[in-house]
Amino acid sequence: MTFFKGSRYERIGELEASLPDGTVVRYKRTRLVPPTPAARGHTVRADDRLDLLAEEYYTDAERFWLICDANDVLWAPDLLAEPGKDIAIPESEG
């Protein structure tokens, strides 16, 4: 399996399983979210989008997942659902 450089799954190992018909299925191990301390905060605005915040803070819209990890959210839209709420913005990794 190939993931783009900088993907949250880039460094996650793979496993294989054999189905009863002999088909081999490759899949990624479960990604455990590491502790992701905040470097700064951001107050949510009504027009915020995670891709735009990632572009603003990391100059890479695809790194939105770092913001999700720092705020322990599984469903990204929940993070921006409440304008006025403060959210954590971590440093960019690597």
pLDDT for residue 72:
83
Residues 40 and 86 in one domain: yes
Question: For 8-57, how does the pLDDT look when each residue is reduced to its tens digit (9 = 90+)?
Answer: 778 888 999 999 999 999 998 887 777 888 889 999 999 999 999 999 99
Residues 81 and 65 in one domain: yes
> Between 76 and 44, whose confidence is greater?
44
End-to-end CA distance of the chain: 21
CB contact set of 72 (below 8 Å; sequence gap of 6+): 33
Residues 20 and 41 in one domain: no
In which band, very low, low, confident or very high, does the pLDDT at 81 lie, cut at 50, 70 and 90?
A: very high
Residue 59 has pLDDT above 90, yes or no: yes
Residues 19 and 55 in one domain: no
* SS3 assignment, position 78: helix
pLDDT for residue 62:
87
According to DSSP, the β-strands at 38-43 and 24-28 are: unpaired
* Structural domains in the chain (count): 2
pLDDT for residue 82:
94
pLDDT for residue 94:
52
Residues 44 and 8 in one domain: no
Residues 57 and 76 in one domain: yes
Residues 28 and 55 in one domain: no
